[in-house]
Structure 1
Amino acid sequence: MPLTGQCRCRAVSYTLAADLPLAVYACHCRDCQTWSGSAFALHALLPEGTLRAEGTITEYAYDSNGLHSRHALCGVCHTRLYNTTSAAPGLQVLRAGTLDNSPSLQPVSHIWVQHKQPWLTLPEGLPAWPQSPTPGAFAEALRG
């Protein structure tokens, strides 16, 4: 069964075109903390083109530290739904909290934990990196 999701106001909904197993990870970088207004953000990597959105999407793009990112937001409530980044060509980074089944998600790894909030305790046994892991190490962790 395909996975579905939506923005906060429901003006944009989406379906994942393929029935993919999702490997969700938590990012604790300062950008994710600021954008989410929380201690971390939950993401899932998808092959580009897997997500099919309906509704008005607004784009926000920026360059930082030599990387280019393009973010897709609801044109009404501005919920961030996904982004692409030159750090991960051919992939989309889904904001996993926008999935309809988000309460059932469990992160399989944590990145940028050098910025983790000091009151947050991470589960033992899950891969965690102070910054971004190497692509190979990250792929291995996401495979579970």
Structure 2
Amino acid sequence: MAEMGALKMDNPLPSPAFTNNHHEHTLKEESWKHRAPYQIQSPQEFGPVKWRAKCKCGKISYTLRQDKPLNAKFCHCRGCQVMHGAPFQWAAIFHKEDVNFAKGCSGLSFYSSSQNSQKYQMPTKVSCSYCHTLIMDEGRNVCLLFPQLIEFEGSLDEQRKQRDAFRPTCHIFYEQRMMDIPDRTPKWSGMDGTSHLLDDEGIPIDQQCDEMRGDNM
């Protein structure tokens, strides 16, 4: 007991001011847990549910309250190919306020590709910490969800009709594609609206127009 008393004297507890500052810093760092889409909301707070989604193992689930996304795209960039282990990524864009995770951030893992870090920081890639299903890419104001996780119901024909709500409006980073996709959907060499439009075979459309004008001269 004497030794314990001496130990306390040699290693006094931090002053209250230090403890409070540390507490405030922790609260600030973890404030994202209390914002959309991780803030848990009751059905009354969130409103009518339009879509339900879950990961492969079912430990992570979320709901959506909008009929359609703000936009939907196929992304062919190398990063998406590697992360998804697929030729391209299918992403639907929603405001974070329109997404509600049933268990908040519990059971989620985060990865920042720009910082190569698992610490939560935006933008971040979000996945189930158990089965590692990719859930979404979270940005500052919106999140990119993956429609494959949404639970479409009914017959196969009915499910196909439901998926039309998430039909992509364009392909982006089509220059990096693994295959040609002749689907009559606009294809951009990079980001949509700020790069070159390509045809199904990846040839710039403006180049084709120049060649056609040259043939007519």
Using the size of structure 1 for normalisation, the TM-score is 0.76
**CA deviation string 1:4-32 (max 9, x = no partner):** 1111111111101x223134211111111
More strand by share: 1
Give the equivalent residue in structure 2 for 1:139: none
Number of residue-to-residue matches in the alignment: 126
State the partner residue of 1:129: 188
Q: Higher mean Cα deviation, 40-49 or 92-101?
A: 92-101
Is 2:59 the counterpart of 1:11? yes
Q: Which residue of 2 aligns with 1:60?
A: 111
Bigger relative contact order (CA 8 A; separation at least 6): 1
Maintained 8 Å contact 2:66/2:98: no
- Give runs of aligned pairs for residues 109-120 of structure 1, distance below 5 A: 109-118=170-179, 120=180
Aligned positions of 1:1-144 closer than 5 A? 2-16=50-64, 18-22=65-69, 23-55=71-103, 56-63=107-114, 69-85=123-139, 89-101=140-152, 104-105=163-164, 106-118=167-179, 120-124=180-184, 126-134=185-193
Rg comparison, structure with higher value: 2
Structure 1 segments of 4+ aligned residues over 3 angstroms from their partners? none
Instruction: Tell me if the contact between 1:29 and 1:116 (Cα under 8 Å) persists in the aligned partners.
Output: yes
Question: What is the one-letter code of the residue matched to 2:68?
Answer: P
Cα distance in structure 1, aligned partners of 2:87 and 2:128? 22
In structure 1, runs of 5+ residues without a counterpart are 136-144
Contact 1:113-1:130 within 8 A present in 2 as well = yes
CA contact (8 A) 1:24 1:96 kept: no
Deviation at 1:113, TM superposition (A): 0.2
| Greater fraction of residues in helix | 2
Alignment gaps of 5+ in structure 2: 1-48, 116-121, 153-158, 195-217
Equivalent-residue separation in structure 2 for 1:81 and 1:61 (angstroms): 14
**Residue 40 of structure 1, CA deviation:** 0.5
User: 1:5 and 1:11 mapped to 2: Cα distance?
Assistant: 11
Q: CA–CA distance in 1 between the matches of 2:97 and 2:137?
A: 12
Distance 1:122 1:32, change over 3 A: farther
Q: State the secondary structure of the residue aligned to 1:33.
A: helix
**What's the CA shift string for 1:47-97, capped at 9, x where partnerless?**
123211124111222327xxx521221121111111223xxx311111222
Tell me, in whole angstroms, the C-alpha distance in 1 between the residues paired with 2:94 and 2:178: 27
Tell me the SS of whatever aligns to 1:49.
helix
